[in-house]
């Protein structure tokens, strides 16, 4: 992160079963650093940086000069994996929780979260691309209302859920907040396109 600001929760609240007496965003961000965020892939043998990408939130434009992303350093165990939670079920998260999320046999990807609404988070997958041998933020191909495909970087809920197998998600969730019914998510990684496809 470049010149990050340290942001502490005003009301730490009590966290239990996904609920907090603090703000809903505290469940995702907790106490965090906020500033321009980068992800770099390093070649340790030759001691060089292979490539670096910017991490931008869903609502930040690519041309926005003033931007930042929250990276938690004390957060409830939930969205981010906290290996050693304290008595309040929170602690230092393992942000680079590397797993095989593409199903290509390399445990080199991780998930970042962005608050959207209470109990709803936006999710994105970043990490190592075996095909390009670079650090990437993976896209998700989905259909618009006009049935035209579009590739986005952030999607609601998907990557916060456990895949049925590496590279494949199939689950149902209820958005609430006045929306009726449930949403059935079926997402799989397309190795030829190097994107996730949401059906």
pLDDT at 144: 86
Mean of all residue pLDDT scores within the chain: 90
pLDDT at 103: 97
Residue 3: DSSP 8-state: S
Q: How many CB atoms lie within 10 A of CB 21?
A: 11
pLDDT per position as a tens digit, 111-127? 999 999 888 999 999 99
Following DSSP, what letter does each residue of 63-117 receive, concatenated? T-SS--EEEEEEEESSSS--SS--TTSEE---SS--B--SSSS---EEEEEEEEE
Report the alpha-carbon distance of residue 84 to residue 77 in Å, rounded.
9
pLDDT per position as a tens digit, 131-142? 999 999 999 999
- 159 three-class SS: helix
pTM here? Answer: 0.89
Q: Exposed, middle or buried by CB within 10 Å (0-12, 13-18, 19+), for 165?
A: exposed
> Can you give the residue range of the structural domain that contains 35?
5-198
Total number of domains constituting the chain: 1
Q: Give residue 168's pLDDT band: very low, low, confident or very high (50, 70, 90).
A: very high
Instruction: Copy the structure tokens of residue 180.
Output: 């009726």
pLDDT at 112: 98
Location of structure tokens 């230092």: 92
């Amino acid at each position: 992160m470049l010149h990050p600001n340290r942001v502490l929760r005003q009301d730490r609240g009590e966290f239990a079963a996904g609920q907090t007496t603090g703000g809903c965003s505290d469940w995702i961000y907790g106490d965090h650093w906020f500033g321009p965020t980068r992800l770099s892939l390093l070649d340790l043998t030759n001691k060089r940086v292979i490539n670096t990408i910017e991490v931008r939130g869903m609502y930040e434009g690519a041309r926005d000069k003033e931007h930042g992303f929250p990276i938690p350093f004390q957060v409830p165990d939930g969205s981010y994996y906290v290996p050693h939670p304290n008595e309040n079920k929170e602690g230092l998260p393992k942000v680079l929780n590397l797993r095989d999320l593409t199903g290509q046999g390399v445990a080199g990807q991780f998930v970042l979260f962005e608050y959207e609404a209470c109990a709803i988070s936006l999710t994105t997958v970043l990490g190592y691309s075996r095909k390009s041998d670079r650090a990437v933020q993976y896209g998700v191909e989905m259909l618009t209302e006009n049935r035209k495909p579009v590739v986005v970087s952030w999607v609601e809920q998907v990557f916060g859920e456990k895949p049925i197998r590496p590279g494949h998600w199939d689950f149902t969730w209820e958005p609430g907040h006045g929306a009726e019914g449930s949403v059935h998510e079926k997402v799989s990684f397309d190795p030829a396109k190097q994107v996730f496809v949401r059906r």
